[in-house]
Chains A and B, each alone.
Chain A
């Protein structure tokens, strides 16, 4: 029963995830058809359209073929990591995305770490002091967080710490690790603020539930220290919900990253997506959405595996407890 469950589980998941990715790719490919003007005009970008040029484009992109054949050809390219050519930049899409990836990944990891650490701490403290003024205050702070879109808190942070206090730089993404950490601190906090609330809420609720269980009273009665009961048992059990929630948080942060990158003018994947959408650079949009979809699927997969590792009951499919 050691490694077998993982292989079986992964196989089962892939049977769901591969069709899902195919479905998303079909939706993404249809974007070209859904755009307000005709596909050849979209692919032409802003350049002047003569009948000859339009014909050339129709031929080059095989636009006269049936939809499903066009889709199949595009999908074959995507599988071979050929996402086509950007209309505006006139260069392959994938290298453009990869070049922007490091800032977004750095920002995301930094923000996620802040949200997780601070959110867990706030949730634990609120649960232990439940019903007190401190609990109400922590819950209120997290309500403010969920109500503050990343761009609003971003502007406020930018003004307070960048302009008034001049603690942090207001522009650029920095070079090298330390400088980048320095430049991305405010954006990461803005990103974390909006997502932290969910972690606080879930941690608090789950821990309160666990602390009310009989095994906690029993462990205390047997003389185990509260610290041991909290960290060894109650928190571990509460973590199952937190791990599930953190998957949602990571996915929610994708949206947050888009807003934060635009707010702080950071050249990441998020601002690339906004530029691509506004410029109707469809091949670039398609490439970006595919990359994001793969990321989302991987996050779900990792979360699914993680909580099976934490909670053996789910792993072995037992319904006891």
Chain B
């Protein structure tokens, strides 16, 4: 398919102006947001004001009040408690997608970039093919038809995310290939696998780590998108994407029921994006990875 040559921002040429605070405040905020989400996921029932699945059909959807800080949904479930409980699917799934996709991507990318040749051509053919297709759309069709819910959604996304990761790791491995330390290792007779994992991999690692963060953000957006369409978690599970879909209908009575989980998705994803970009820039300016 089309040869895609998207230029990535070269941070080196950008003069750092605008003061230090403007750089550190978003980082601090992002860490705070991720900290809160992790606390929600770990503590869960301990800090939730009530049972997230407790229905109350008599009151139905109510606006925020003293008893329900963020109000309730159509069947009287507490929104705040559901948001706290929803942090688990919002954290675990995207993490598995990011780490899983990057593991496959690292293996294929290192093989293609370092060994090269026909193997590389084959890997890149696959990557270019997958890159030209809309990942989430494939996920919608495959998960919708085959079923399998959340686990299947995570597995499908791992496979669909790996081509982009392969491309990035391969580019990094290619950059390392002509460097003197490789030549030195080759001269000393170090076996190929050892050069790849002991010498090349640590140099590729910074980029791998920052892209795991970026993948997490996109994984969260994708997984909650699938849940929004009813293709991720089973009905009734507290999940931010699912809540958005279910509570669209109470927008006039309790708008926060739909908006609050939406904001949680955006805040968590944006934080991960900011942290990933920041790590990437840091590694870039310290010389590693670029």
In the complex, the answer to whether B262 meets A156 with C-beta atoms within 8 Å is: yes
Q: Tell me, rounded to whole Å, the shortest Cβ–Cβ distance linking A227 to chain B.
A: 22
- The chain A residue sitting closest to B19, CB to CB, is A133
A53 within 8 A of B: no
Which residues of chain A from 227 to 277 have any CB-CB distance to chain B below 8 Å in the complex?
241, 244-245, 247-248, 251-252, 254-255, 258-259, 262-263, 273-274, 277
Q: Select the stretch in B42-50, B69-77, B266-274 that faces chain A.
A: B266-274
Contacts of A296 in B (CB 8 A): 132-134
A148 to B221, CA, bound (A): 7
Q: Which of A133, A147, A150, A277 has the most CB of B within 10 A?
A: A147
Q: Tell me, rounded to whole Å, the shortest Cβ–Cβ distance linking A161 to chain B.
A: 12
A247 to B1, CA, bound (A): 12
Q: Select the stretch in A3-11, A79-87, A98-106, A136-144 that faces chain B.
A: A136-144
- The chain B residue sitting closest to A288, CB to CB, is B141
In the complex, the answer to whether B5 meets A20 with C-beta atoms within 8 Å is: no
A159 to B249, CA, bound (A): 11
A149/B225 contact (C-beta < 8 A), A292-B137, A300-B132 known: yes
Contacts of B64 in A (CB 8 A): none
In the complex, the answer to whether A140 meets B26 with C-beta atoms within 8 Å is: yes
B193 within 8 A of A: no
Q: Tell me, rounded to whole Å, the shortest Cβ–Cβ distance linking A118 to chain B.
A: 19
Contacts of A148 in B (CB 8 A): 265-266, 269-270
Contacts of B251 in A (CB 8 A): 155, 158-159, 163
A34 within 8 A of B: yes
Chain B binding surface SS class: helix
A132 within 8 A of B: yes
Which one, B18, B245, B266, contacts A147 given CB within 8 A? Answer: B266
Which one, B18, B217, B270, contacts A133 given CB within 8 A? Answer: B18
In the complex, the answer to whether B134 meets A289 with C-beta atoms within 8 Å is: no
In the complex, the answer to whether B22 meets A258 with C-beta atoms within 8 Å is: no
In the complex, the answer to whether B269 meets A147 with C-beta atoms within 8 Å is: yes
Interface string of B208-232 (1 = CB under 8 A from A): 0000000001000100110011110
Contacts of A2 in B (CB 8 A): none
A296 to B137, CA, bound (A): 12
A183 within 8 A of B: no
Interface string of A285-296 (1 = CB under 8 A from B): 100010010001
In the complex, the answer to whether B15 meets A131 with C-beta atoms within 8 Å is: yes
Q: Select the stretch in A67-75, A203-211, A218-226 that faces chain B.
A: A203-211
A309 within 8 A of B: no
Q: Tell me, rounded to whole Å, the shortest Cβ–Cβ distance linking A272 to chain B.
A: 12
In the complex, the answer to whether A132 meets B7 with C-beta atoms within 8 Å is: no
Which one, B14, B16, B134, B265, contacts A149 given CB within 8 A? Answer: B265
B residues in contact (CB < 8 Å) with A: 1-2, 4-10, 13-18, 22, 26, 129, 132-137, 140-141, 144-147, 217, 221, 224-225, 228-231, 241, 244-245, 248, 251-252, 255, 258-259, 262-263, 265-266, 269-270, 272-274, 277
Beyond known contacts A163-B251, A296-B134: 11 more, CB 8 A cutoff? A35-B145, A147-B221, A149-B269, A150-B225, A153-B262, A244-B4, A244-B5, A255-B136, A255-B140, A262-B228, A300-B2
| Contact sample, A vs B, 29 pairs, CB 8 Å cutoff | A20-B129, A130-B15, A131-B15, A147-B269, A149-B221, A149-B225, A149-B266, A151-B244, A151-B245, A153-B262, A155-B244, A159-B255, A159-B258, A205-B9, A205-B10, A208-B9, A212-B13, A244-B2, A247-B2, A251-B132, A251-B134, A254-B137, A259-B229, A262-B228, A274-B140, A277-B140, A292-B137, A296-B132, A300-B1
A residues in contact (CB < 8 Å) with B: 16, 20, 31, 34-36, 130-133, 135-136, 140, 143-144, 146-153, 155-156, 158-159, 163, 201-202, 204-206, 208-209, 212, 241, 244-245, 247-248, 251-252, 254-255, 258-259, 262-263, 273-274, 277-278, 280, 282, 285, 289, 292, 296, 300, 303-304
